[in-house]
Amino acid sequence: MKEKNRKVKSSKKLTIATWIVILGIWYFVTKLNMVQSVLVPSPYEVWNSFLNILKDGYNGTSLMMHLGISFKRLFVASFFAVLTAIPLGLLSGYFEKIRAVVDSVIQFYRPLPPLAYYTLLILWFGIDETSKVTLLYLAAFAPIYIACVSAVTKINQDYILSAESLGASHRNIFFHIVLPASMPEIFTGLRTAVGVAYTTLVASEMVAATSGIGWMVIDASRYLKSNVMFVGIIIMGITGILIDAGLKFLEKKLVYWKGYV
Protein backbone atom coordinates (compact mmCIF):
# COMPACT_ATOMS: atom_id res chain seq x y z
CA MET A 1 0.00 0.00 0.00
CA LYS A 2 2.82 2.41 0.86
CA GLU A 3 4.49 1.61 -2.44
CA LYS A 4 1.26 2.36 -4.30
CA ASN A 5 0.83 5.68 -2.46
CA ARG A 6 4.40 6.60 -3.32
CA LYS A 7 3.80 5.86 -6.99
CA VAL A 8 0.58 7.91 -6.97
CA LYS A 9 2.36 10.91 -5.44
CA SER A 10 5.18 10.56 -7.95
CA SER A 11 2.67 10.47 -10.82
CA LYS A 12 0.93 13.60 -9.53
CA LYS A 13 4.24 15.46 -9.34
CA LEU A 14 5.03 14.40 -12.90
CA THR A 15 1.60 15.62 -14.06
CA ILE A 16 2.12 19.01 -12.40
CA ALA A 17 5.61 19.29 -13.91
CA THR A 18 4.21 18.49 -17.36
CA TRP A 19 1.69 21.33 -17.17
CA ILE A 20 4.30 23.74 -15.86
CA VAL A 21 6.43 22.94 -18.92
CA ILE A 22 3.44 23.41 -21.26
CA LEU A 23 2.54 26.77 -19.70
CA GLY A 24 6.20 27.81 -19.78
CA ILE A 25 6.49 27.01 -23.49
CA TRP A 26 3.25 28.90 -24.15
CA TYR A 27 4.55 31.93 -22.25
CA PHE A 28 7.93 32.08 -23.98
CA VAL A 29 6.52 31.44 -27.46
CA THR A 30 4.18 34.43 -27.10
CA LYS A 31 6.71 36.55 -25.20
CA LEU A 32 9.28 36.19 -27.98
CA ASN A 33 6.63 36.87 -30.65
CA MET A 34 7.34 33.56 -32.37
CA VAL A 35 3.69 33.47 -33.52
CA GLN A 36 1.11 36.18 -34.11
CA SER A 37 -1.10 36.99 -31.13
CA VAL A 38 -4.21 36.52 -33.28
CA LEU A 39 -3.20 32.86 -33.66
CA VAL A 40 -1.86 32.19 -30.15
CA PRO A 41 -2.63 34.86 -27.56
CA SER A 42 -0.41 35.20 -24.52
CA PRO A 43 -1.44 33.75 -21.14
CA TYR A 44 -1.85 37.34 -19.90
CA GLU A 45 -4.32 38.16 -22.71
CA VAL A 46 -6.28 34.99 -22.08
CA TRP A 47 -6.43 35.70 -18.34
CA ASN A 48 -7.65 39.26 -18.95
CA SER A 49 -10.29 37.99 -21.37
CA PHE A 50 -11.44 35.48 -18.77
CA LEU A 51 -11.79 38.21 -16.14
CA ASN A 52 -13.71 40.44 -18.57
CA ILE A 53 -16.07 37.61 -19.55
CA LEU A 54 -16.50 36.68 -15.90
CA LYS A 55 -17.41 40.29 -15.12
CA ASP A 56 -19.40 41.38 -18.19
CA GLY A 57 -20.33 38.10 -19.83
CA TYR A 58 -20.15 37.36 -23.55
CA ASN A 59 -22.66 38.66 -26.08
CA GLY A 60 -24.90 39.91 -23.29
CA THR A 61 -24.95 36.58 -21.44
CA SER A 62 -22.98 35.85 -18.28
CA LEU A 63 -20.33 33.14 -18.21
CA MET A 64 -22.30 31.19 -15.60
CA MET A 65 -25.34 31.27 -17.87
CA HIS A 66 -23.30 29.94 -20.81
CA LEU A 67 -21.95 27.14 -18.63
CA GLY A 68 -25.37 26.43 -17.12
CA ILE A 69 -27.04 26.07 -20.52
CA SER A 70 -24.30 23.77 -21.82
CA PHE A 71 -24.30 21.64 -18.67
CA LYS A 72 -28.08 21.36 -18.78
CA ARG A 73 -27.87 19.98 -22.32
CA LEU A 74 -25.02 17.65 -21.36
CA PHE A 75 -26.52 16.30 -18.13
CA VAL A 76 -30.05 15.83 -19.49
CA ALA A 77 -28.68 13.87 -22.47
CA SER A 78 -26.32 11.83 -20.24
CA PHE A 79 -29.13 11.06 -17.77
CA PHE A 80 -31.40 9.61 -20.46
CA ALA A 81 -28.45 7.76 -22.02
CA VAL A 82 -27.70 6.08 -18.69
CA LEU A 83 -31.40 5.36 -18.13
CA THR A 84 -31.73 3.51 -21.44
CA ALA A 85 -28.26 2.28 -22.42
CA ILE A 86 -27.45 0.40 -19.19
CA PRO A 87 -30.59 -1.83 -19.14
CA LEU A 88 -30.45 -2.41 -22.90
CA GLY A 89 -26.72 -3.12 -22.81
CA LEU A 90 -27.03 -5.58 -19.93
CA LEU A 91 -29.94 -7.36 -21.60
CA SER A 92 -28.06 -7.53 -24.90
CA GLY A 93 -25.05 -8.99 -23.15
CA TYR A 94 -27.18 -11.53 -21.29
CA PHE A 95 -29.53 -12.53 -24.11
CA GLU A 96 -28.05 -13.34 -27.52
CA LYS A 97 -31.31 -12.68 -29.41
CA ILE A 98 -31.68 -9.15 -28.04
CA ARG A 99 -28.06 -8.44 -28.98
CA ALA A 100 -28.70 -9.70 -32.51
CA VAL A 101 -31.52 -7.16 -32.89
CA VAL A 102 -29.96 -4.12 -31.21
CA ASP A 103 -26.19 -4.41 -31.65
CA SER A 104 -26.02 -3.92 -35.42
CA VAL A 105 -28.04 -0.68 -35.17
CA ILE A 106 -25.70 0.72 -32.52
CA GLN A 107 -22.61 -0.32 -34.45
CA PHE A 108 -24.02 1.31 -37.60
CA TYR A 109 -24.50 4.82 -36.22
CA ARG A 110 -21.65 4.80 -33.66
CA PRO A 111 -18.80 5.68 -36.08
CA LEU A 112 -20.83 8.36 -37.88
CA PRO A 113 -19.63 11.95 -37.29
CA PRO A 114 -22.26 13.88 -35.27
CA LEU A 115 -22.63 16.57 -37.93
CA ALA A 116 -23.47 13.87 -40.49
CA TYR A 117 -26.86 13.22 -38.89
CA TYR A 118 -27.35 16.46 -36.94
CA THR A 119 -29.04 18.06 -39.94
CA LEU A 120 -31.54 15.20 -39.95
CA LEU A 121 -32.25 15.72 -36.26
CA ILE A 122 -32.92 19.40 -36.95
CA LEU A 123 -35.38 18.45 -39.71
CA TRP A 124 -37.14 15.99 -37.43
CA PHE A 125 -37.10 17.85 -34.10
CA GLY A 126 -36.55 21.49 -35.04
CA ILE A 127 -33.72 23.85 -34.16
CA ASP A 128 -34.49 24.19 -30.47
CA GLU A 129 -33.16 22.21 -27.50
CA THR A 130 -34.67 18.86 -28.54
CA SER A 131 -32.34 18.32 -31.50
CA LYS A 132 -29.29 19.36 -29.46
CA VAL A 133 -30.09 17.09 -26.51
CA THR A 134 -30.91 14.21 -28.89
CA LEU A 135 -27.52 14.60 -30.59
CA LEU A 136 -25.73 14.47 -27.23
CA TYR A 137 -27.91 11.54 -26.16
CA LEU A 138 -26.90 9.50 -29.22
CA ALA A 139 -23.24 10.39 -28.62
CA ALA A 140 -23.42 9.20 -25.00
CA PHE A 141 -25.60 6.14 -25.60
CA ALA A 142 -23.20 4.04 -27.68
CA PRO A 143 -20.17 3.97 -25.29
CA ILE A 144 -22.38 3.03 -22.32
CA TYR A 145 -24.19 0.32 -24.28
CA ILE A 146 -20.95 -1.20 -25.60
CA ALA A 147 -19.37 -1.16 -22.12
CA CYS A 148 -22.40 -2.97 -20.67
CA VAL A 149 -22.40 -5.65 -23.36
CA SER A 150 -18.66 -6.17 -22.96
CA ALA A 151 -18.96 -6.37 -19.17
CA VAL A 152 -21.66 -9.05 -19.25
CA THR A 153 -19.92 -11.19 -21.86
CA LYS A 154 -16.72 -11.19 -19.77
CA ILE A 155 -18.40 -12.59 -16.65
CA ASN A 156 -17.13 -16.01 -15.68
CA GLN A 157 -19.96 -18.39 -16.59
CA ASP A 158 -19.01 -20.66 -13.69
CA TYR A 159 -20.43 -18.07 -11.29
CA ILE A 160 -23.79 -18.08 -13.08
CA LEU A 161 -23.91 -21.87 -13.40
CA SER A 162 -23.04 -22.28 -9.71
CA ALA A 163 -25.83 -19.90 -8.73
CA GLU A 164 -28.31 -21.72 -10.95
CA SER A 165 -27.31 -25.06 -9.46
CA LEU A 166 -28.05 -23.65 -6.01
CA GLY A 167 -31.54 -22.64 -7.12
CA ALA A 168 -31.00 -18.92 -7.71
CA SER A 169 -33.62 -17.24 -9.89
CA HIS A 170 -32.78 -15.17 -12.96
CA ARG A 171 -33.62 -12.05 -10.96
CA ASN A 172 -31.19 -12.98 -8.16
CA ILE A 173 -28.47 -13.89 -10.67
CA PHE A 174 -28.87 -10.54 -12.40
CA PHE A 175 -28.81 -8.36 -9.28
CA HIS A 176 -26.26 -10.34 -7.26
CA ILE A 177 -23.84 -11.54 -9.96
CA VAL A 178 -24.29 -9.84 -13.34
CA LEU A 179 -24.85 -6.26 -12.17
CA PRO A 180 -22.06 -6.12 -9.52
CA ALA A 181 -19.57 -7.77 -11.89
CA SER A 182 -20.47 -5.29 -14.64
CA MET A 183 -20.35 -2.09 -12.56
CA PRO A 184 -16.62 -1.30 -13.00
CA GLU A 185 -16.85 -1.49 -16.79
CA ILE A 186 -20.17 0.38 -16.78
CA PHE A 187 -18.50 3.31 -15.02
CA THR A 188 -15.67 3.22 -17.56
CA GLY A 189 -18.25 3.43 -20.32
CA LEU A 190 -20.06 6.23 -18.49
CA ARG A 191 -16.87 8.28 -18.20
CA THR A 192 -16.16 7.73 -21.88
CA ALA A 193 -19.74 8.62 -22.80
CA VAL A 194 -19.71 11.92 -20.92
CA GLY A 195 -16.41 12.81 -22.58
CA VAL A 196 -17.76 12.00 -26.05
CA ALA A 197 -20.96 13.95 -25.36
CA TYR A 198 -18.93 16.94 -24.17
CA THR A 199 -16.87 16.97 -27.36
CA THR A 200 -20.11 16.75 -29.35
CA LEU A 201 -21.46 19.75 -27.43
CA VAL A 202 -19.66 22.20 -29.72
CA ALA A 203 -21.27 20.59 -32.78
CA SER A 204 -24.71 20.76 -31.16
CA GLU A 205 -24.27 24.48 -30.43
CA MET A 206 -23.04 25.39 -33.91
CA VAL A 207 -26.54 25.62 -35.38
CA ALA A 208 -29.24 28.03 -34.22
CA ALA A 209 -27.75 28.64 -30.78
CA THR A 210 -27.07 31.95 -29.07
CA SER A 211 -25.63 30.68 -25.82
CA GLY A 212 -23.52 27.89 -24.35
CA ILE A 213 -19.80 27.48 -23.84
CA GLY A 214 -19.43 25.64 -27.15
CA TRP A 215 -21.33 28.37 -28.99
CA MET A 216 -19.07 30.97 -27.37
CA VAL A 217 -16.00 29.29 -28.90
CA ILE A 218 -17.66 28.98 -32.32
CA ASP A 219 -18.85 32.60 -32.27
CA ALA A 220 -15.41 33.87 -31.24
CA SER A 221 -13.81 31.96 -34.12
CA ARG A 222 -15.96 33.86 -36.63
CA TYR A 223 -14.39 37.14 -35.50
CA LEU A 224 -10.86 35.76 -34.89
CA LYS A 225 -11.16 36.34 -31.15
CA SER A 226 -8.53 33.76 -30.32
CA ASN A 227 -8.29 34.95 -26.70
CA VAL A 228 -11.99 34.19 -26.17
CA MET A 229 -11.57 30.85 -27.94
CA PHE A 230 -8.73 29.94 -25.59
CA VAL A 231 -10.87 30.93 -22.59
CA GLY A 232 -13.71 28.71 -23.76
CA ILE A 233 -11.46 25.77 -24.59
CA ILE A 234 -9.62 25.98 -21.26
CA ILE A 235 -12.92 26.20 -19.35
CA MET A 236 -14.25 23.16 -21.22
CA GLY A 237 -11.05 21.26 -20.47
CA ILE A 238 -11.09 22.10 -16.76
CA THR A 239 -14.80 21.40 -16.32
CA GLY A 240 -14.35 18.13 -18.22
CA ILE A 241 -11.62 17.10 -15.78
CA LEU A 242 -13.85 18.04 -12.83
CA ILE A 243 -16.78 16.03 -14.20
CA ASP A 244 -14.54 13.01 -14.75
CA ALA A 245 -13.11 13.40 -11.24
CA GLY A 246 -16.66 13.46 -9.88
CA LEU A 247 -17.50 10.23 -11.71
CA LYS A 248 -14.32 8.58 -10.44
CA PHE A 249 -15.21 9.62 -6.88
CA LEU A 250 -18.73 8.22 -7.33
CA GLU A 251 -17.25 4.99 -8.70
CA LYS A 252 -15.02 4.60 -5.64
CA LYS A 253 -18.04 4.94 -3.37
CA LEU A 254 -20.39 2.67 -5.30
CA VAL A 255 -17.97 0.07 -6.69
CA TYR A 256 -15.96 -0.35 -3.51
CA TRP A 257 -15.17 -4.02 -4.26
CA LYS A 258 -13.08 -3.09 -7.30
CA GLY A 259 -10.19 -1.90 -5.15
CA TYR A 260 -8.74 1.63 -5.20
CA VAL A 261 -5.81 3.42 -3.70
List Cβ<8 Å contacts ≥24 apart for 60-63.
61/210, 61/211, 63/235
Q: Cβ distance 54 to 64 under 8 Å?
A: no
pLDDT band with cut points at 50, 70 and 90 for residue 33:
confident
Predicted local distance difference test score (pLDDT) of residue 5: 66
The 10 Å Cβ neighbour count of residue 204 is 28
Q: Cβ distance 212 to 73 under 8 Å?
A: yes
Q: What is the pLDDT of residues 86-119, one digit of tens each?
A: 999 998 987 888 889 999 999 898 888 887 888 8
Distance CA 81, CA 189 (A): 11
Distance CA 155, CA 166 (A): 18
User: How much of the chain, in percent, has pLDDT values that exceed 90?
Assistant: 37
CA proximity to 57, closest of 173, 170, 210: 210
Q: What is the pLDDT of residues 189-236, one digit of tens each?
A: 999 999 999 888 877 887 767 788 888 988 898 888 899 999 999 999
User: How much of the chain, in percent, has pLDDT values that exceed 70?
Assistant: 95
Residue 78 has pLDDT above 70, yes or no: yes
Q: Cβ distance 93 to 238 under 8 Å?
A: no
pLDDT band with cut points at 50, 70 and 90 for residue 261:
very low
